């Protein structure tokens, strides 16, 4: 259920280009349609149709097993509100989002500030900060599952060497989510870092030069010039990150399969279990619509906040 | 002399025509009279490597059959893909399926019945199987699965460690242990030798251990109609309390997942291992001094959690007669060659092989064959079976008993509530 933020329309002012004249030949008015037709077809087939059929299914007891389905009305929706697994898994998704978003933004910014320099060190930092992002989820989780392993894992090795007791990261209820968050930050912070780095390099050098002549020190330059000029990028990163974090599934499925005792099961995993392991496509559709609504609300709220700030500038 | 490129530039129509022609030609390949057998299986471990070898022999002996085998990830990923292909009517000709999953797989809509006459023509009949496995493969009077093996929960033991612990008899085999006290003494003796654990267990998914212990207490799960949970609290708690004690006394790890279970037995942290019998190849490859035996009868009766792999015909909208015949012959061929399959640990379901010298000679694979009639399948329900929801709920509730995060009482209450919720859910099959 990918929800992309729509591209921001920058040309808010009325456009000066003339509207197409009504007398234009058919070919020119409809020609464009032929060019977008291949995309449109795929979009309708793989986006619009599943969205509509998902809503349709949520009113039936549709089964993956192909048994005859019956109309249930709002039964699935009523069940959903009384199903504690829906709420606990939704809570897990929100907890993950709340835990992962701040570090993924702040650390990315710090890394970008560190790596925004010329020479070998800059190159090395840029390379090493971004490198984990290119790894596939399976590789990342495999590495980290071993790192967290009690007995012979790296983290617990360090803990015991430092005189602390071992922690069974992935099998302890109030540690497992933290472990997944740490892995996620290591893996995906490189993307936000790249966005920040690009924005940093877009700040003209003469701004800093002027500030230096006026006697601003490095700290003042950072807080008065760099950070304000990065605010648009920060807004973008926060929106993208919130949506990406809400869609958490891969790492958790691969690292803990939602355990221990469902403590890390995100809502998408519950949807998957319901729809595919238990074949209850109808009920799973209803849950995914609930989640869809939440993502839309978050995205719209962020977008409003973000565009409001943009106009004030 | 190079030709003038302009003369040889193909037009759009020529290219399209050429492409269509090529497509038509490859299409013709699909219309050949050769029967095809596509097989999907879920054997990713040591048994998967063995299956590959058996398949190579099959292909060599059947040059007339177009044979294709695909291994998919065990558990939910496999069953999801199989269900989707069968629901769409475009499934492979044959697939593996856990017998415990048969009812939950909606046989009437997602599977095609096995043509028993063709199977008999290929030399395989009901009398070749134990009634327990054959009867479970029949739904509404029709045969939907052909059992390939039985795979019980067994005891692995490191012969060197157990020798030092004084647990081996004069024949070099582990002495049979009976009763809770003797069971605990055995684990303590091993722990004293290893200095770490007695046995390695998959604490993150202890369903099989619990189901074995509960079964040995003769506990019931559902009533005869299969609609009411009749779990015996006292017996369930007895089994859970024993599991909690194992971990609390350090006889088993407090927390270990499947790969850790294998690692701890391989590296000697544990001298015993409670697991299904399918890791034989792994430990043989590691050149470990080990053998295997039936899981001890800790309580009243010999019962061992287990399951069986079967062959099924997933539903095809347009089933081809020749393909089906070749498929049934493939199944029969596999059963007759299941001694090689048994080398991977599984007890053959096909009795002519199970009684053959070739199988009986296999050590340690034939050491635990006696338990086959006492294998306890998972409760019979749509949400039950290997890798299905009931096992997941048991894993969620019971892993806390080992780690100490949950008391046996709380764990049982949670598991019962989860099971009841599944029972209350209208069956999707």
- The answer on B166 and B140 residing in a single domain is no
Q: Which two tokens stand for residue A33?
A: 């349609």
Q: Which two tokens stand for residue A94?
A: 């929100």
Contact at CB, A66 and B110, closer than 8 angstroms: yes
Contacts of B110 in chain A (CB under 8 A): 65-66
Q: Which two tokens stand for residue A64?
A: 């993956």
Surface-to-core class of residue B199, CB atoms within 10 Å of its CB (0-12 exposed, 13-18 middle, 19+ buried): buried
Q: What's the confidence (pLDDT) of residue B402?
A: 95
Bridge pairing between strands B290-294 and B304-307? unpaired
Rounded CA separation B265/B257 (Å): 13
Helix (H) or strand (E) holding B153: strand B149-158
Rounded CA separation B366/B363 (Å): 6
Nearest to B346 by CA among B151, B70, B138: B151
Candidates A61, A65, A171; nearest CB to B106: A65
Q: What's the confidence (pLDDT) of residue B191?
A: 97
Q: Provide the percentage of residues in chain B whose pLDDT is more than 90.
A: 78
φ and ψ at residue A71, rounded to 5 degrees: -75, 130
Q: What's the confidence (pLDDT) of residue B259?
A: 85
Rounded CA separation A117/B313 (Å): 63
Surface-to-core class of residue B19, CB atoms within 10 Å of its CB (0-12 exposed, 13-18 middle, 19+ buried): exposed
Q: Which two tokens stand for residue B197?
A: 């654990």
DSSP B297: B
Range of the domain at B143: 34-148+308-336
Task: Please name the residues in contact with B328: beta carbons below 8 A apart, sequence gap of 6 or more.
Answer: B114, B115, B118, B119, B121, B122
Contacts of B255 in chain A (CB under 8 A): 150, 168, 171-172
Whether A82 and chain B come into contact, CB under 8 Å, resolves to no
Q: What's the confidence (pLDDT) of residue B14?
A: 58
Are B382 and B373 contacting, i.e. CB atoms less than 8 angstroms apart? no
Whether A67 and chain B come into contact, CB under 8 Å, resolves to yes
Rounded CA separation B121/B323 (Å): 15
Match 């992935």 to its residue by tokens.
Answer: A170
Nearest chain B residue to A264 by CA: give it. B396
Question: What is the number of domains present in chain B?
Answer: 2
- The answer on B179 and B130 residing in a single domain is no
Rounded CA separation A282/B100 (Å): 25
SS3 of B251-284: CCCCCCCHHHHHHHHHCCCEEEEEEEHHHHHHHH
Q: Which two tokens stand for residue A292?
A: 């869809």
Segments making up each domain of chain A, as ranges:
75-312
- The answer on B200 and B315 residing in a single domain is no
φ and ψ at residue B74, rounded to 5 degrees: -60, 150
Residue B296 counted as domain residue:
yes
Task: Please name the residues in contact with B98: beta carbons below 8 A apart, sequence gap of 6 or more.
Answer: B307, B308, B309, B310, B385, B386, B387
Give B110→chain A minimum CA distance, Å.
Answer: 6
Residue B139 counted as domain residue:
yes
Are A281 and A64 contacting, i.e. CB atoms less than 8 angstroms apart? yes
- List the CATH number of the domain containing B413: 3.40.190.10
Q: What's the confidence (pLDDT) of residue B200?
A: 97
Strand-pair partners of B375: B304
- The answer on B162 and B113 residing in a single domain is no
- The answer on B208 and B127 residing in a single domain is no
Are B364 and B291 contacting, i.e. CB atoms less than 8 angstroms apart? yes
- The answer on B416 and B275 residing in a single domain is yes
- The answer on B168 and B60 residing in a single domain is no
Nearest chain A residue to B264 by CA: give it. A151
When pLDDT is cut at 50, 70 and 90, the band that residue B427 belongs to is: confident
- The answer on B169 and B88 residing in a single domain is no
Q: What's the confidence (pLDDT) of residue A311?
A: 46
Contact at CB, B405 and A261, closer than 8 angstroms: yes
DSSP A6: P
Task: Please name the residues in contact with B237: beta carbons below 8 A apart, sequence gap of 6 or more.
Answer: B408, B409, B412
Higher-confidence position of B6 and A291: A291
Candidates A149, A262, A280; nearest CB to B428: A280
- The answer on B403 and B263 residing in a single domain is yes
Count interface pairs A-B at CB distance under 8 A: 84
Strand-pair partners of B156: B273, B292
Q: What is the pLDDT of residues A135-184, one digit of tens each?
A: 999 999 999 999 998 877 899 999 999 999 888 899 888 899 999 999 99
Average per-residue pLDDT in chain B?
90
State whether the Cα torsion A161-A163-A166-A169 is positive or negative: negative
Asked whether residue B310 carries a pLDDT value surpassing 80, the answer given is yes
Strand-pair partners of B309: B98
Domain A75-312: CATH architecture, name and number where available? Orthogonal Bundle (1.10)
Rounded CA separation B87/B3 (Å): 56
How many C-alpha atoms does B67 have within 13 Å on its Cβ side? 20
Rounded CA separation A281/A57 (Å): 7
- The pTM score is 0.81
Q: What's the confidence (pLDDT) of residue B158?
A: 97
Q: What is the pLDDT of residues B167-212, one digit of tens each?
A: 999 999 999 999 999 999 999 999 999 999 999 999 999 999 999 9
DSSP B344: T
Strand-pair partners of B138: B143
**How far from the centroid of its chain's Cα atoms is residue A236's Cα?**
11
Rounded CA separation A293/A306 (Å): 20
- The answer on B265 and B224 residing in a single domain is yes
Q: CB neighbours (10 Å) of residue B407?
A: 15
Contact at CB, B79 and A277, closer than 8 angstroms: yes
Nearest chain A residue to B105 by CA: give it. A65
State whether the Cα torsion B248-B250-B254-B258 is positive or negative: negative
Contact at CB, A65 and B260, closer than 8 angstroms: no
B110-135 mean pLDDT: 94
Asked whether residue B6 carries a pLDDT value surpassing 50, the answer given is no
- The answer on B171 and B296 residing in a single domain is yes
Contact at CB, A149 and B260, closer than 8 angstroms: yes
- The answer on B179 and B88 residing in a single domain is no
- Note if the bond before B398 is cis, omega within 30 degrees: no
Q: What's the confidence (pLDDT) of residue B10?
A: 54
Q: Which two tokens stand for residue A60?
A: 């039936």
Whether B403 and chain A come into contact, CB under 8 Å, resolves to yes
Q: What is the pLDDT of residues B41-87, one digit of tens each?
A: 999 877 888 899 999 999 999 999 999 999 999 888 899 899 989 98
SS3 of B174-212: ECCCECHHHHHHHHHHHHHHHCCEEEECCCCCCHHHHHH
Helix (H) or strand (E) holding B70: strand B66-71
Put simply, the chain A residues between 144 and 203 with a CB less than 8 A from any chain B CB are: 149-151, 168, 170-173
Rounded CA separation A129/A147 (Å): 19
Mapping DSSP to helix (H, G, I), strand (E, B) and coil, where does residue B405 land?
coil
Q: How many residues does chain A have?
A: 313
Rounded CA separation A284/B350 (Å): 40
DSSP A46: I
Helix (H) or strand (E) holding B163: helix B159-164
Q: Which residues of chain A have pLDDT under 50?
A: 1-16, 18, 310-313
φ and ψ at residue B333, rounded to 5 degrees: -60, -45
State whether the Cα torsion A246-A251-A256-A258 is positive or negative: positive
Radius of gyration for chain B, computed over Cα atoms and rounded to the nearest angstrom: 25
Rounded CA separation B134/B272 (Å): 33
Rounded CA separation A11/B396 (Å): 54
């Amino acid at each position: 259920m990918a929800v992309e933020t729509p591209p921001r329309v920058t040309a808010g002012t009325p456009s000066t280009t003339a509207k197409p004249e009504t007398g234009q030949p058919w070919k020119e008015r409809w020609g464009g349609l032929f060019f977008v037709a291949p995309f449109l077809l795929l979009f309708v087939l793989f986006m619009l149709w599943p969205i509509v059929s998902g809503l349709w299914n949520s009113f039936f007891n549709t089964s993956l097993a192909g048994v005859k389905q019956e109309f249930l009305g709002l039964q699935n929706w009523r069940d959903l509100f009384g199903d504690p697994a829906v709420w606990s898994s939704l809570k897990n998704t929100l907890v993950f989002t709340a835990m992962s978003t701040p570090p993924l933004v702040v650390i990315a910014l710090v890394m970008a500030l560190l790596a925004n320099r010329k020479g070998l060190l800059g190159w090395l930092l840029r390379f090493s900060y971004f490198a984990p992002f290119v790894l596939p989820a399976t590789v990342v989780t495999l590495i980290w599952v071993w790192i967290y392993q009690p007995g012979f894992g790296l983290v617990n090795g360090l803990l015991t060497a430092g005189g602390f007791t071992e922690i069974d990261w992935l099998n302890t209820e109030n540690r497992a989510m933290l472990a997944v968050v740490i892995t996620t930050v290591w893996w995906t912070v490189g993307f936000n870092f790249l966005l920040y780095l690009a924005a940093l390099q877009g700040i003209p050098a003469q701004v800093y030069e002027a500030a230096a002549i006026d006697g601003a020190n490095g700290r003042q330059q950072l807080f008065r010039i760099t950070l304000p000029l990065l605010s648009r990028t920060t807004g973008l990163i926060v929106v993208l990150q919130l949506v990406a974090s809400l869609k958490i599934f891969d790492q958790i499925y691969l690292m803990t399969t939602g355990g221990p005792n469902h403590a890390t099961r995100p809502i998408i995993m519950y949807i998957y279990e319901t729809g595919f392991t238990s074949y209850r496509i109808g009920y799973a559709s209803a849950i995914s619509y609930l989640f869809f609504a939440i993502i839309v609300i978050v995205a719209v709220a962020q977008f409003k906040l973000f565009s409001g700030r943009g106009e004030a500038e | 002399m190079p030709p003038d490129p302009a003369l040889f530039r193909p037009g759009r129509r020529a290219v399209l025509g050429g492409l269509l022609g090529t497509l038509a030609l490859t299409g013709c390949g699909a219309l050949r009279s050769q029967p095809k057998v596509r097989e999907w299986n879920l054997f990713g471990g040591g048994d998967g490597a063995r299956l590959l070898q058996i398949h190579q022999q099959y292909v060599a002996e059947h040059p007339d059959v177009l044979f294709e085998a695909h291994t998919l990830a065990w558990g939910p990923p496999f069953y999801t893909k199989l269900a989707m292909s069968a629901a769409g009517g475009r499934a492979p000709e044959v697939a593996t399926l856990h017998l415990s999953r048969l009812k939950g797989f909606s046989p009437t809509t997602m599977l095609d019945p096995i043509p028993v006459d063709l199977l008999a023509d290929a030399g395989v009949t009901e009398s070749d199987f134990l009634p327990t496995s054959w009867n479970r493969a029949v739904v509404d009077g029709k045969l939907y699965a052909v059992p390939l093996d039985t795979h019980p929960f067994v005891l692995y033991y490191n012969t060197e460690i157990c020798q030092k612990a004084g647990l081996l008899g004069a024949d070099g085999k582990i002495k049979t242990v009976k009763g809770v006290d003797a069971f605990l003494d055995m684990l303590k003796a091993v722990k004293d030798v290893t200095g770490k654990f007695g046995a390695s267990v998959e604490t993150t998914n202890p369903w099989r251990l619990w189901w074995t212990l509960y079964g040995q207490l003769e506990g019931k799960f559902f009533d005869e109609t299969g609609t009411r949970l009749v779990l015996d609290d006292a017996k369930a708690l007895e089994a859970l309390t024993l599991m909690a004690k194992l971990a609390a006394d350090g006889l088993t790890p407090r927390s270990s997942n499947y790969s850790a279970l294998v690692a701890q037995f391989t590296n000697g942290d544990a001298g015993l291992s409670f697991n299904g019998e399918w890791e034989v190849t792994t430990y043989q490859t590691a050149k470990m001094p080990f053998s295997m035996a039936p899981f001890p009868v800790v309580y009243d009766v010999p019962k061992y959690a287990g399951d069986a792999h079967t062959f099924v015909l997933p539903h095809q909208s347009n089933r081809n007669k020749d393909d089906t015949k070749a498929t049934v012959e493939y199944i029969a061929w596999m059963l007759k060659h299941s001694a090689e399959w048994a080398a991977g640990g599984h007890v053959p379901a096909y009795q002519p092989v199970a009684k053959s010298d070739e199988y009986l000679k296999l050590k340690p694979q034939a050491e635990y064959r006696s338990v086959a009639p006492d294998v306890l399948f998972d409760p019979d329900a749509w949400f039950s079976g290997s890798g299905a929801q009931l096992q997941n709920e048991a894993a969620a509730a019971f892993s806390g008993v080992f780690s100490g995060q949950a008391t046996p009482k709380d764990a049982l209450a949670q598991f019962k509530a989860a099971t009841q919720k599944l029972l209350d859910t209208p069956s999707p099959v």
